[in-house]
C-alpha cells in the first residue's frame, strides 16, 4: 500500500504528461520550465532544513552520522559505477577509448550550474531559519512540484518519441540500479560498524537512495527521530551533491551520473542528467530511478523491523 501511495501519483503524472498533448508546451518552454522548477524545489529543500526544530542539536548528532554513511556510500558507489560503465556499457567504452585530455578538461563553466544549485539551497536555508514558525507546508508543496516535474518530463519523452515500455526494460538501467543498491547497502553496513549502530539501522538509513522526503518520514514514523534526521540529511546531501557533480560525472561515466543520483534519477535530477548527457540518457535514468524508488518503501520498513 505504501508503494502505491508514494509511487502511484508520480508515475501517473509521468503518464498523463506523456499521453496529454498540450501544444503550447514547446520543447524550449519545457526545458526552461524544468530548469527553474528544479531550482524552486532546491529552495524548498533548503527551507525544510532551516525550519527543523532544534536545528543545531539535530545537525550535530545526525549530521555526524550522515557524513560517515555518506563517505562510505560515495566511495563504494562511484568506484563500482565507474567500473560497470567501462565494462558493461559498450557505447561508453567506445567513447572513453577515443577520449583525449582535452575531452576531460574541467573548467569553471562546468560548475556554473552547480553554484546556482547551491545558491538556491542556501537561500531557502536562510529563509527557513527565520521563518521556521510560519505555516508553510513545504513537504506538500514539494510533492505537488514533483508531480508537475514528472508531468513535464512525460511531455519531453513524448516529444522525443520514446516508448514507455522500453523505459522500464532498459538493460543499462537495470545494471546501474543493481550496482547502486548493492554498494549503498554495503556502505550502510560499513557505516553501522564504524558508528556502533545496529546493522539493521545502518541498512535502513541508507535505503532512501536519495529520496529524502520519504526516507526521513518513514524512519521517524517507525520510532527513531534521530535516525530519521540522519536519513533526511544523508539523502538531501546525496541529492544536492548529485546535482553539483553531474557536470563533472558526465565527463567520466554516465553510469556514475545516473547511479549516484539514486531514486531521484527518474524525477528530480532527470532534467540535469538530460542537459549534460543528452536525451538518450532519459530511458536509462528513469529505469534506474524507478527500480530504486520502488525499493525505498519496501526496504526501510523491512530493516527497521528487524
What is the pLDDT at residue 173?
Answer: 93
Q: Which residues contact 42 (CB under 8 A, 6 or more apart)?
A: 117, 120, 121, 124, 240, 243
H helical segments located in 222-265: 225-249, 254-261
Task: Please answer whether residues 204 and 299 qualify as being in contact, where contact means their C-beta atoms are separated by less than 8 angstroms.
Answer: yes
Determine the pLDDT at residue 187: 97
- Between CA 177 and CA 186, with CA 183 as vertex, the angle to 5 degrees is 140
Helices (H), 88-137: 90-97, 112-130
Beta-carbon contacts of 21 under 8 Å, excluding residues fewer than 6 positions away, are 158
Tracing cell 565527463 back to the chain, one arrives at: 251
- Measure Cα distances from 23 to 27, 101, 153, 159 in Å: 10, 43, 15, 11
pLDDT of the chain, 306 residues: tens digit per residue: 555 565 677 778 878 888 888 878 888 898 888 888 878 887 887 787 777 777 777 778 888 999 999 999 999 999 999 999 999 887 664 444 333 334 334 445 545 666 777 788 889 888 888 886 765 677 778 778 878 887 887 887 788 766 666 666 789 999 999 999 999 999 999 999 999 999 999 999 999 999 876 787 778 777 787 788 899 889 988 888 888 889 889 888 999 999 999 998 988 888 889 888 888 898 899 899 988 988 887 888 889 887
C-alpha distances (whole Å) from 232 to each of 109, 160, 246 are 30, 34, 21
Q: How many CB atoms lie within 10 A of CB 193?
A: 13
**Which residues does 91 contact at the CB level (< 8 Å), separation at least 6?**
none
Q: Domain-by-domain residue ranges, the chain?
A: 2-304
Distances in Å between the alpha carbon of 254 and those of 137, 193, 271?
A: 35, 31, 14
Tell me if residue 125 falls in helix, strand or coil.
helix
pLDDT at 152: 87
Q: Which residue has the cell 527557513?
A: 128
Amino acid at each position: 500500500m505504501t508503494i502505491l501511495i508514494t509511487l502511484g501519483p508520480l508515475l501517473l503524472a509521468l503518464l498523463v504528461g506523456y499521453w496529454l498533448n498540450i501544444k503550447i508546451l514547446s520543447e524550449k518552454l519545457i526545458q526552461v520550465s524544468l530548469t527553474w522548477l528544479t531550482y524552486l524545489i532546491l529552495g524548498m529543500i533548503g527551507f525544510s532544513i532551516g525550519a527543523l526544530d532544534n536545528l543545531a542539536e539535530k545537525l550535530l548528532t545526525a549530521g555526524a552520522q550522515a557524513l560517515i554513511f555518506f563517505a562510505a556510500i560515495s566511495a563504494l558507489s562511484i568506484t563500482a559505477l565507474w567500473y560497470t560503465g567501462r565494462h558493461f556499457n559498450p557505447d561508453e567504452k567506445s567513447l572513453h577509448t577515443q577520449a583525449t585530455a582535452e575531452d576531460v578538461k574541467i573548467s569553471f563553466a562546468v560548475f556554473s550550474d552547480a553554484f546556482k544549485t547551491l545558491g538556491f539551497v542556501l537561500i531557502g536555508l536562510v529563509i527557513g531559519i527565520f521563518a521556521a514558525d510560519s505555516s508553510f507546508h513545504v513537504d506538500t508543496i514539494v510533492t505537488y512540484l514533483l508531480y508537475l516535474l514528472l508531468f513535464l518530463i512525460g511531455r519531453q519523452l513524448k516529444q522525443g518519441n520514446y516508448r514507455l515500455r522500453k523505459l522500464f526494460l532498459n538493460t543499462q538501467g537495470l545494471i546501474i540500479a543493481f550496482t547502486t543498491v548493492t554498494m549503498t547497502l554495503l556502505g550502510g553496513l560499513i557505516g553501522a560498524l564504524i558508528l556502533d549502530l545496529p546493522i539493521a539501522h545502518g541498512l535502513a538509513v541508507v535505503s532512501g537512495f536519495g529520496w529524502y522526503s520519504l526516507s526521513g518520514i518513514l524512519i521517524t514514523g517507525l520510532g527513531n527521530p534521530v535516525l530519521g534526521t540522519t536519513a533526511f540529511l544523508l539523502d538531501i546531501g546525496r541529492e544536492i551533491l548529485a546535482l553539483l557533480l553531474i557536470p563533472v560525472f558526465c565527463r567520466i561515466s554516465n553510469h556514475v551520473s545516473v547511479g549516484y543520483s539514486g531514486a531521484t534519477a527518474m524525477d528530480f535530477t532527470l532534467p540535469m542528467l538530460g542537459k549534460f548527457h543528452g536525451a538518450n540518457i532519459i530511458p536509462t535514468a528513469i529505469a534506474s530511478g524507478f527500480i530504486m524508488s520502488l525499493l525505498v518503501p519496501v526496504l526501510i520498513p523491512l530493516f527497521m523491523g528487524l
